[in-house]
Amino acid sequence: MLHLELIAPGNKTVFRQKLPEIVQVRVMGNTQVRQALHIALPEDAMPGQYRLQIEVEDIQNQAASRSKQTLAFTIVPQEFGIVHFQLYSIYTPQVQLPCPGVAVVGQTVHVTAIVLRGKKDQPDRLWNLDVQMKLLDEQGKALADGFPITGQFRKIPGDLDYLDVRFDLPVQKAGRFLIAIQANEPGTNRNAQLLVPFQAVDLQSGAKAGK
């Protein structure tokens, strides 16, 4: 069982929560249970240093000691930037199925993110946005035979402070890469870039990154 507590600047508790019990059959003889957590922070969260305290309890062995871990992170003032990156194996109006940063050659994954406009001098003025997604090698260098996917958005209402963007990424060869998303507001110095690791596996040849 997991116990969570999020602590804001000034040692103020944002929330304290006990998650439902997790039960898994050890079909592979493993002694570890892996889980993923997703925490949505409010848009008006105060900038500063935060701490997420995670405590694990073995409900089948009450004599076992609890394990604790503290993760620290920083919330910065809202600026022009790229947030909420997510990969999907299926993305339709009816079904959205998230997936990890690993895909199979021949598959198409869907890359999504949100571009935040941040502070603006003229809140009611229409604005424009250029976005681009490309793959880099794991050292951050451009692929010799790679081409970017670009998008342009024009006359966005001034009261819209963010924009959802999506790219379709056809997985064409095995390897370790970085997904690079770039965004800029034409006519201004606002620009941002997000880099996310990505791995592609070729099941037919048995080749995968790292071999």
Give me the CATH number covering residue 115: 2.70.50.60
The answer to whether residues 40 and 98 belong to one domain is: no
Question: How many other C-beta atoms can be found within 10 angstroms of the C-beta atom of residue 141?
Answer: 9
The answer to whether residues 113 and 183 belong to one domain is: yes
Question: How many other C-beta atoms can be found within 10 angstroms of the C-beta atom of residue 53?
Answer: 15
pTM for the predicted model, two decimal places: 0.79
The answer to whether residues 149 and 203 belong to one domain is: yes
The answer to whether residues 65 and 99 belong to one domain is: no
* Domain range enclosing 136: 81-208
Q: CA distances (Å), 26 to each of 29, 36, 86, in order?
A: 5, 18, 29
Contact indicator for 122, 174 with CB cutoff of 8 Å: no
Task: Mark which of 75, 93, 120 sits at the end of a domain.
Answer: 75
The answer to whether residues 37 and 122 belong to one domain is: no
Task: Mark which of 60, 75, 90 sits at the end of a domain.
Answer: 75
Torsion of CA 30, 97, 71, 22, to 10 degrees: -40
The answer to whether residues 19 and 89 belong to one domain is: no
Spell out a b/e string for 163-192, using b for 16 or more CB atoms within 10 Å of the CB, else e: bebebebebeebbebbbbbbbbbeeeebeb
pLDDT digits (tens), the chain, 211 positions: 788 999 999 999 998 888 887 777 778 887 777 777 778 787 778 899 999 999 988 777 777 778 899 999 999 888 899 999 999 999 999 999 999 999 999 999 999 999 998 877 677 889 999 999 999 999 999 999 899 999 999 999 988 889 999 999 999 999 999 999 999 999 999 999 999 999 999 998 755 544 4
